[in-house]
Amino acid sequence: MFHILGIDHLVLRTGNVTALMRFYVDVLGCSVERVQPAFGLIQLRAGSSLIDLVALDGPLGRAGGAGPGPEGRNLDHFCLRLDPFDAGRLCAHLRAHGVEPGPVEMRFGAEGRGPSIYVHDPDGNVVELKGPPKIM
């Protein structure tokens, strides 16, 4: 049998790779892991996982049909676990980059209930930024 260790990667299809790169690298601190121009693919390191950015005008992007927009998205949201999680500093950092954070709320995740904030990337994808579980 097997067990799941965690999220390996997720794929975001986009019409504006540059804007998403700025958000995930400059704002959230991901790093560029690998670029594959022949596929229209940029892979970003997010801790132990990858976030793949697929250009809609590249081979992989064209194969997926219509891109993200107000009438439909490829996912509801995904969650990135942050350490440390200082809500005040995090919100100030996001606002300094033109990203308006949602309210800090206690939400359940893989490690239990803990603080989290929702933000939107430039394509409108919802990203949950999550802190450690609170021991009650």
Tens digit of each residue's pLDDT (9 = 90 or more) over 6-42: 888 998 989 899 999 999 999 999 999 999 999 999 9
Residue 133 phi/psi, 5-degree rounding, is -65, 150
Residue 66 phi/psi, 5-degree rounding, is -60, 150
Q: How far apart are CA 112 and CA 2, in angstroms?
A: 22
Q: Is 136 a domain residue?
A: no
Tell me the per-residue pLDDT of 88-105, one tens digit each, with 9 for 90 and over.
999 999 999 999 999 999
Q: How many domains does the chain contain in total?
A: 1
**DSSP structural state of residue 40:** T
Q: Is 78 a domain residue?
A: yes
Q: How far apart are CA 122 and CA 24, in angstroms?
A: 10
What CATH number does residue 44 fall under? 3.10.180.10
**For residue 51, which of 74, 84, 85 has the smallest C-alpha distance?**
74
Q: Give the residue numbers spanning the domain of 125.
A: 9-62+74-130
Backbone dihedral region of 42: left (phi > 0), alpha (psi from -120 to 50 degrees) or beta?
Answer: beta
Under the banding of pLDDT at 50, 70 and 90, the label for residue 61 is confident
Residue 2 pLDDT greater than 60, yes or no: no
Token couple for 21: 């790169």
Q: Is 69 a domain residue?
A: no
Q: Is 49 a domain residue?
A: yes
Q: Are 101 and 90 in contact (CB under 8 A)?
A: yes
Cβ contacts of residue 135 below 8 Å, gap of 6+? Answer: none
CA atoms within 13 A on the CB side of 93: 14
Tell me the per-residue pLDDT of 67-77, one tens digit each, with 9 for 90 and over.
777 776 667 78
**DSSP structural state of residue 25:** I
pTM for the model stands at 0.82
